[in-house]
Amino acid sequence: MIQNNKVVLHYQEYNPIIESYLSLPEFESKAADTLRGKRVTITTLCNYLGDAKIYSFSKCSPKDVTGYLNSISHLASSTKSGRLFILRHFFNYLYSQKITMLN
């Protein structure tokens, strides 16, 4: 849900993973807008998964990710491309942390 141009995380189960990811050393020098974009993308994914009754990335399947991507199909091509780039990096992080088998 977006309130006052702010995306709100509705499933707090995901918050520790989001914060851990956004605290990676490689993001220290990134602009605030860059981090905000990453947070919005990951938060909307988490809200999508939670709405589908998936409360852990270990339970997330490729079909779930495809469903999320379909749900944003109305966005501009450049926005979808940016979100896909963020999600690839995020899932690589989850895989490296052994949180999911998706890579």
Could you report the per-residue pLDDT of 10-67, keeping only the tens digit for each? 999 999 999 999 999 999 999 999 999 999 999 999 999 999 999 999 999 999 999 9
Q: Is residue 64 part of a domain?
A: yes
| CATH number of residue 44's parent domain | 1.10.150
What's the CA gap between 76 and 81, in Å, rounded? 9
Question: Domain containing 79: what range?
Answer: 11-96
Q: Which of 46, 52, 43, 41 is nearest to 80 (CA)?
A: 41
Instruction: Give the pLDDT confidence score for residue 100 in this predicted structure.
Output: 83
Q: Which residues pair with 6 in a beta bridge?
A: 3
What's the CA gap between 54 and 80, in Å, rounded? 22
- Residue 6 sits at φ, ψ, to 5 deg, of -125, 130
Q: Is residue 2 part of a domain?
A: no
* Total of domains in the chain: 1
pLDDT per residue as tens digits for the range 53-88: 999 999 999 999 999 999 999 999 999 999 999 999
Q: Is residue 1 part of a domain?
A: no
Q: Is residue 5 part of a domain?
A: no
Instruction: Give the pLDDT confidence score for residue 5 in this predicted structure.
Output: 59
Task: Give me the sign of the Cα torsion angle 82, 34, 7, 43.
Answer: positive
